[in-house]
Amino acid sequence: MFRFVPIIATLLFFLLLSCGTKEKKIEPDTTAISETTINADTKGQNVKFPVYDYNGLEPLLNKDDGKTYIINFWATWCKPCIEELPYFEKVNAEMKDNNVEVILVSLDMPSMWKSRLEPYVEKNDLKSKVVILDDPKQNDWIPKVSEEWGGGIPATLIYNKVKRGFYERGFTYKELNEELNKFIN
């Protein structure tokens, strides 16, 4: 037992030494350069969907182009989110010719993007636009999405140039259509 102590101590020493010598790469701030800021911490993950910090996502939450947008915040680990996604997909298919666009904003953690998010989207053949929000400053960006939002998901923002509504709850197909009709009629 005691003969392993020097070996373990040596391994721990080198492990700690190697952790302390890594340099942190500082990425330039490109927020002002592009309205679609891709989060610098997630570059190189080679995911199929755009990865935004809040500054990059914000333009999607404030478009003024004559469309009505349904922005759904969800995650693959959220059972109520998964239960309602087929309704968003159905509305997206039925209403795309009526200037309605559904955007699914995944809040999955980076470790889940390749193992859960991508397979889920492929398996369920999601046609709505999927983007990833990767911004750890939730206390900063949640109230910017809506002052009413306590941070729970599923959560949905429906808006157009005339009206804006936020819903921190799940939807049935009927309920989603009823809310959407308030924006397009």
Confidence of residue 185 (pLDDT cuts 50, 70, 90): confident
Strands (E), 39-127: 51-52, 68-74, 100-106
pTM of the model: 0.77
Q: What is the pLDDT of residues 101-151, one digit of tens each?
A: 999 999 999 999 999 999 999 999 999 999 999 999 999 999 999 999 999
All domains of the chain in start order, with CATH: 25-184 (3.40.30.10)
What value does the mean pLDDT take over residues 75-93? 97
CB 87 within 8 A of CB 97: no
Give the whole-angstrom CA distance, residue 127 versus residue 91. Answer: 11
